[in-house]
A = this chain, B = another copy of it.
Amino acid sequence: MNPADRSASRTVAAAAARPVEKIRVLIADDHVTVREGLAAMIGRQADMAVVGEAATGRQAVELWFSLRPDIVLLDLRMPELDGVGAIGEIRQRDAAARIIVLTTFDTDSDIANAIRAGARGYLLKDSQREELLDSIRRVHAGETSISPSLVAKLAAGISSETLTGRELDVLILLAHGKSNKEIGANLYISETTVKSHLRNIFAKLDVLSRTEAITVACRRGLVTL
């Protein structure tokens, strides 16, 4: 399946009905409803075919290598192995893999992580039919496809400073409503150290209070409440 084949098959498909190389699509989502929906939409296209469905990230990786599809549509939140993990494993052994993330989540870190891991496309589940199908064709053709509205978020996410591991520890406990003292006890550090971390966190997130920090952290997907 080299680029020449691909452009050829596209020409044929455009021309009319003849033995056509269909785009072989793998669907990975833990919701049966979504899998059915994608399969129904893709199955109706003349130039695409669903070759497999996975309900977990682990399954998605296995099916990618056993079925050798052209494209995988991947949800980010899945049991066993999450989307980002699955992308990593697939790309590690197959750097050319064409992966489209299709998810409900659009926090900065979700998008950034998926792209960093090697996704070629990123769509939200409320995308329209044509948008989705176009995206599959575009990514299959070697392009990338990310919703314009998400590009802005991506830029914002990248420009923002990254927290250190310890700062994230503190932030997570903070977001669960712990006091400085409790955070310290949980992490086996003194309360003053917690305050130091918090000052750095506030500066990085550009906020003034712990409550603001929680909301910003949620929006950026740094923590889950």
- Nearest B residue (CB) for A125: B31
State the majority secondary structure of interface residues on A: helix
B125, B211, B215: the one within 8 Å of A33 (CB): B125
**Which residues of chain B have C-beta atoms less than 8 A from A35's C-beta?**
37
**Which residues of chain B have C-beta atoms less than 8 A from A219's C-beta?**
225
**Which residues of chain B have C-beta atoms less than 8 A from A178's C-beta?**
211
B30, B36, B126, B216: the one within 8 Å of A30 (CB): B126
Quick check: is A129 within 8 A (CB to CB) of the other chain?
yes
Q: How many chain copies?
A: 2
**Complex CA distance for A104 and B105, rounded to whole angstroms:** 12
Q: Are A215 and B225 in contact (CB under 8 A)?
A: yes
Contact with B along A100-129 (1 / 0, CB 8 A): 000010000000000000000000011111
**Complex CA distance for A38 and B215, rounded to whole angstroms:** 35
Q: Are B32 and A36 in contact (CB under 8 A)?
A: no
- Which of the candidate stretches A3-11, A61-69, A146-154, A169-177 sits at the interface with the other chain? A169-177
Quick check: is A40 within 8 A (CB to CB) of the other chain?
yes
Quick check: is A168 within 8 A (CB to CB) of the other chain?
no
Quick check: is A214 within 8 A (CB to CB) of the other chain?
yes
**Complex CA distance for A35 and B32, rounded to whole angstroms:** 12
Task: Report, as a range, how many residues of chain A touch the other chain.
Answer: 35 or more
Quick check: is A20 within 8 A (CB to CB) of the other chain?
no
- Nearest B residue (CB) for A223: B215
Q: Are B215 and A177 in contact (CB under 8 A)?
A: yes
**Which residues of chain B have C-beta atoms less than 8 A from A200's C-beta?**
none
Q: What 6 A-B pairs are tightest by C-beta distance, nearest first?
A: A37-B37, A177-B212, A36-B37, A33-B37, A40-B40, A218-B225
Interface residues of A (CB under 8 A from B): 30-41, 104, 125-129, 132, 174-179, 207, 209-216, 218-219, 225
28 contacts between A and B (CB under 8 A): A31-B37, A31-B125, A32-B37, A32-B128, A33-B34, A33-B41, A33-B125, A33-B132, A34-B34, A34-B37, A36-B37, A37-B39, A39-B40, A104-B104, A175-B211, A177-B207, A177-B209, A177-B211, A177-B212, A177-B213, A178-B211, A179-B209, A179-B211, A211-B214, A214-B215, A218-B218, A218-B225, A219-B225
